[in-house]
Structure 1
Amino acid sequence: MGSSLTMYISLVATSGVFSLFLFLYAYTKRAEMPGARTFMLYMIAQSIYIFSVAFQMVSSSLDEIMRWTIIQYIGMAPSPALGLMVVLQYIGKPVTRKMGTALFVIPAVSIIMVATNGYHHLFYKAVTVRHGSSLPYTDIVIGQFYVLSGIFTFGSMLAGVIVLARRWRHTKQNYKRQLATLITGQFLPIVAAFVYLMGLIPNGMDPVPVVICITSSMYIWAIVSTQMLTIVPIAKEMIFESMDEGVVVLDNANRLIDFNGAASRMLPPLGDGMIGLSLDEAWIRMTGSAFPLGGMSGIVQGELRWSNPNGELSYYQVRASVVRGRIGEIVGNLLMLIDVTEARRLRDQLEQLAYHDGLTKLLNRTSFFQRGKRLLNDTRINGAAASVVLFDIDYFKRINDTYGHETGDFAIKHVAAVVSRQLPPEALFARYGGEEFVICLPAGRSEAGRLAEAARAALAAEPLRANGESIVITASFGVSQSAEFDGESLPMLLKNADMALYEAKRGGRNLVRLFEEAVTV
């Protein structure tokens, strides 16, 4: 029995030493360890509890045992509350002053009740030394407040286990060893205390200090292998997950190793099944093509366009940064996706207002001149022809006077829509002013004339339906070509097209005239 006691006390003392070591470690790392103060208090409380158990085991009288019991509760009573606070800080949940005060009410009262038990016997109804044993074991009859203190202790430790367990699914694989260590550190003392209270331990030895030796060893192992106390990965993960910006983490081979919730919301197909794929491979799975901002040399910063299944476009500013290791070596890349959709839409709206007609959404007069001059210059450099088509709506004033200006606006939009469908992609189409429109395209006069005729016929064949009425709208067209007047400016071509348009009007409207015909009639 003596050897059993010696072994037990040795294990208990070892537990205390481990707890002191963890306290000293937290103290040295306090500047870089979130929640260091709480963890230090937790380890000191455990040390007081454990060492007082050891001294209690070598006590020679009941009075001495009770004195060590009081000291034991100074450490044991607040330990569950401190452990719960460590867990809460680990997951990034702030512990308010009010919450902290509430957690220590019962521990404080427990210490007072144990210290004054001889006056009221509400904690222990009776404490007696077990006779016939060479070991200083005691038999106790628990009181009402012992039960309350036990409920609080078990509840605090169980709450810590539950809080940590609920984080398991949301914890990255690299950090699950830390989480498992903390869960075990909270759960094993619960089991040991329960077994002790059930009277299942031989000779009534308290197994909790021995179990703390195991959990402290696990903490030390986790410190060495996972830097459990110098970083708080779950708290960092909470920050990582709460960021509005999407974050994608790549290794030095541009393989996907992590991403946050914002990134998965921005890019819905992005999922855990893509972890380990290269960025290009993951992007091909999501879109069918390689990552648009990448290249053989690495990641390029820029703007990324994303289309959801509904066809809605989102725009993300991609910022890339290199992640370096402890000695400066490149270990990966960090991509940050910033949602600039609203800014892009505002920019597009401003651009629309600056370069496009507000009613028809066609190019406005100013924008047409800027782009038209570039088109003419390009065709001259390439030795090709370019043409200008000018047209306006026939009897537009009559439409306004008869049906009102709102219907007149509908007529202008109708003409823009019908003619747009007849034009090739390279054509510039603009509202020139009022009911007048202009087209510039890289084509000869004959081809431009055929296109103008197709637009004229389409307009005549497709009446405007407004206010329950069908309104036939026609237009007159004039066409001029740049190749025959080498070096002429866009204003001159417009003047020539306007002359041809005038001839179409004079000829009865709803006609197409080429500039050559205009000057020979």
Structure 2
Amino acid sequence: MIPERILLITINIISTLVASFAFISVLRKQEKAGNAATYLAMVLAATAIYAAGYAMELASNTLDLILFWVKIEHIGIELIAPSWLLFALTMTGRQKYITPGRIVGLFIIPFIVLLSVFLGKFHLNPQLTANAPFPTLTYQRGFFAWLGIGYLSAYLGISFIFFILMYQNSAPAFRKQAQVLLISSLLPWIGMIISVTHHAPYNLDLAPLTASISGIIYFTSFQRFQILDIVPLARDVIFEGMGDSVLVLDNFDRIVDHNHSLIGIFPQVTPSIIGLPFQKVFPQYPTLVKMVEDHSPDIVEIQVQSDEKSSYYRCTLLPLSGPHGEVIGKVITFHDYSEVKLLIDQLSTLATIDNLTGIYNRRYFYELAQKELSRAERHNQYLSLIIFDLDFFKQVNDTYGHAAGDAVLAKVVEIFKQRLRKYDIMGRFGGDEFLILLPETNLDDASELAEELRITLEHSIITYEDHSFLIRASFGITGTPVTDPISFEDLVQCVDDAMYKAKKKGRNRIHVYSPEERNETLSRSS
């Protein structure tokens, strides 16, 4: 037996073994990858049959024996193209087009061609090549031969187009996968064209060799990138009708894929993040990282700041499960709820802020004040309360109208807010009365602030349209002693009484409520 013949037989035997090994390995992925693994296994099994049959054909010396092994080869040949097309449909997210009826339809022409092979209608006038160093088959192509070439070209061509579209429209991880699939689709096609056009030496069939190479390439790739472990199952979730942005992780929290809309949210989302740990790509969102690490089903809200605006997203973590319920990855969805957040903030503002002055309304001021009072009692800290009322404010409303009165109130609040600390709390008590809560402040410091506010207002001229106003105010001040707890309602009663005492003394002044006055007031109320 000549060396070239031994080499060709050896290559096809190796191809058979590799395809068989890949077939067994892919079957083990079937539980996780579902139909994608099933169809790929069919392709590899068919390739193994094809390569084994061709190895035996090359080892045969008689026409009858060669024709026998050619029939065996065609069992594999007629399975490859429809199985590969089914695999292409699955991997490119077109599973919905796969129905039992269509599967049967895909195999009708291959079955007819296979039947023609066994009935002797495919290879017309078969004979051994006269000028070859070892026996090879030559024959005339009839209708069934061209039918076989036609459907093989069509099935492989359609698969190739699907993978091109997948490459163009996919996120980065799918582009890597599509590159592998494109090469795997192209090689058998090239081998078939070379053989059909008689460009192979000694009329050899290169298709089993190129098909085996395709199988090796794809098998090596999915072993390396674990494509079948996660992507086929995630694809429908990601690319079929998802309005939200989506990120797919494997069981080690490595980024496997994402859809295009995620790129518009996070500037760090580039092709280079594929395969990186989630924690490394999104360190600025600790609540999101914690959700991933804890496998938490809770919804996490994050704020994403861009140059133009802030956006708000609700993030949900969903387990990605295999056909039998085993977890093979995670899917994070990012739902943009910026408009809802804006509406909630607006409603919250309406519920907590006085619309005229922009400070807290009475209800919310009381709520915050109760918390500060409880904190002061827990930590044995001072807390002071100031109330002020604009003197003769009714005359402004009666003389110049309520619009002028509103402008005066807003301006007074603006002037006083500039004198307060960031943690002081100011609220509208009602009408032209206002409260200022001063955490960690004793009565002496509170009275100094009240006097400063009074003098500032006294030296201010407030204008509205063509009118100028000299506004004065009367202030009452009280506070909580460290050792004597008091309710906030009692505190308000005391400070209100202090303000009226300031008015009785002539207005435009402050009155600090002494402990004796406080005790007298509280004893009367009890």
TM-score normalized with structure 1 length: 0.68
Q: How does 1:174-213 map to 2 (within 5 A)?
A: 176=176, 182-213=181-212
Q: 1:73 to 1:320 in 2, by over 3 A?
A: closer
Unaligned runs of 5+ in 1: 322-332, 464-468
**Would the alpha carbon gap of residues 503 and 314 (structure 1) be closer, same or farther in structure 2, given more than 3 Å must change?**
farther
* Shift, 1:359, TM fit: 4.7
Give the deviation of 1:115 after TM superposition.
Answer: 3.9
Alpha-carbon offset, residue 46 of structure 1: 3.0
Counterpart position of 2:88: 87
CA distance in structure 2 between the aligned counterparts of 1:275 and 1:186, rounded to whole angstroms: 24
Query: Which of residues 430, 437, 440 is equivalent to 1:440?
Result: 437
How far is 1:433 from its partner?
1.5
Question: In structure 1, what is the equivalent of residue 127 of structure 2?
Answer: 129
The 8 Å contact of residues 106 and 152 in structure 1, kept in 2 or not, is answered as: no
**1:310 aligned to 2:346?**
no
**Map of 1:164-179 to 2, 5 A cutoff?**
165-166=167-168, 170-171=172-173, 176=176
Alignment partner, residue 450 of structure 1: 452
Match of 2:154 among 146, 152, 155: 152
Distance 1:274 1:415, change over 3 A: farther
Aligned partner of 1:46 in structure 2 is 47
| Distance in 2 (alpha carbons) for counterparts of 1:213 and 1:396 | 96
Which residue of structure 1 lines up, in the alignment, with residue 384 of structure 2?
Answer: 386
Q: Output the CA distance in 2 between the equivalents of 1:346 and 1:475.
A: 37
Is the Cα–Cα contact under 8 Å of residues 476 and 510 in structure 2 kept in the other structure?
yes
Q: Does residue 23 of structure 2 align to residue 23 of structure 1? A: yes
Q: Is the 8 A contact 2:136 2:204 kept in 1?
A: no
Q: For the Cα contact (< 8 Å) 2:313–2:334, is it kept in 1? A: no
1:478 maps to what in 2?
Answer: 474
CA contact (8 A) 1:181 1:222 kept: yes
CA deviation after TM superposition for structure 1 residue 204, in Å: 0.3
- In structure 2, do the counterparts of structure 1 residues 280 and 224 end up closer, same or farther at CA, with 3 Å as the change threshold? closer
- Partner residue in 2 for 1:325: none
Q: What does residue range 396-475 of structure 1 map to in structure 2 within 5 Å?
A: 396=394, 399=397, 413=410, 416-417=413-414, 419-441=416-438, 442=441, 443-455=445-457, 457-458=459-460, 460-463=461-464, 469-470=465-466, 472=468, 475=471
1:281-316 Cα deviation digits (max 9, x unpaired): 9789x7xxx969999xx9999865443323436366
What residue in structure 1 maps to residue 8 of structure 2?
A: 8
Task: Compute the displacement of 1:27 (Å).
Answer: 3.8
Aligned length: 480
Tell me, in whole angstroms, the C-alpha distance in 1 between the residues paired with 2:189 and 2:351: 71
Cα distance between partner residues in 2 of 1:217 and 1:419: 78
What amino acid does structure 1 have at the position aligned with 2:40?
Answer: F
Amino acid in the other structure paired with 2:451: G
CA shift at 1:66, angstroms? 6.4
After TM superposition, give the deviation of residue 388 of structure 1 in Å.
0.9
Note the C-alpha offset of 1:379. 7.5
User: 1:328 aligns to what?
Assistant: none
Q: Hey, what's the Cα distance between the residues in 1 that align with 2:453 and 2:335?
A: 45
Matching residue within 503, 508, 511 for 1:512 = 508
Query: Which residue number corresponds to residue 38 of structure 2?
Result: 37
Task: State the Cα deviation string for residues 430-455 of structure 1 (Å, max 9, x = none).
Answer: 11113432333343323312213324
Corresponding position of 2:323: none
Deviations 1:20-47 (A, max 9, x none): 4443444444323322332233234334
- Aligned partners of 2:272 and 2:173: how far apart in 1? 16
Contact 1:306 1:313 in 2 (8 A): yes
Aligned runs of 1:104-143 on 2, under 5 Å? 105=105, 108-112=108-112, 115-116=115-116, 127-130=125-128, 132=130, 135-141=135-141, 143=143
CA distance in 1, matches of 2:295, 2:55: 63
Does structure 2 conserve the Cα–Cα contact (< 8 Å) formed by 1:352 and 1:361? no
- Mapped partners of 1:304, 1:480: distance in 2: 44
8 Å contact kept, 1:496–1:515: no
Residue type matched to 1:192 in 2? G
Which residue in the other structure is 1:96 paired with? 97
| One-letter amino acid of the counterpart of residue 308, structure 1 | S
Q: For residue 423 of structure 2, what is the amino acid of its counterpart? A: E
The equivalent of 2:521 in structure 1 is none
Does the C-alpha gap of structure 1 residues 292 and 365 become closer, same or farther in structure 2, counting only changes over 3 Å?
Answer: same
User: For the Cα contact (< 8 Å) 1:388–1:481, is it kept in 2?
Assistant: yes
Deviations 1:488-516 (A, max 9, x none): 84224432343156448xx6xxx722227
Q: 1:114 to 1:193 in 2, by over 3 A?
A: same
Q: How does 1:202-241 map to 2 (within 5 A)?
A: 202-219=201-218, 221-222=220-221, 227=226, 229=228, 231-233=229-231, 236=234
Partner of 1:31, secondary structure, is helix
SS of the aligned residue for 1:162 comes to helix
Counterpart of 2:205, as a letter, is D
> Which letter does structure 1 place at the counterpart of 2:354?
D
Percent identity between the aligned chains? 17
Separation of aligned partners in 1, 2:12 and 2:155: 20
> Could you tell me how far 1:48 is from its partner in structure 2?
4.3
Give structure 2 stretches of 5+ with no counterpart.
320-329, 518-526
CA distance in 2, matches of 1:450, 1:206: 101
Alignment correspondent of 1:324: none
What's the CA shift string for 1:406-463, capped at 9, x where partnerless? Answer: 77666655554454345432332111113432333343323312213324554x3332
Q: TM-score, length-normalised on structure 2?
A: 0.68
Q: Relative to structure 1, is the Cα distance of residues 168 and 276 closer, same or farther in structure 2, using a 3 angstrom cutoff?
A: closer
Query: 1:259/1:355 Cα in 2 relative to 1: closer, same or farther (>3 Å)?
Result: farther
Contact (CA 8 Å) 2:46, 2:77: kept in 1 or not?
yes
Task: Return closer, same or farther for 1:250/1:407 CA change in 2, 3 Å cut-off.
Answer: farther
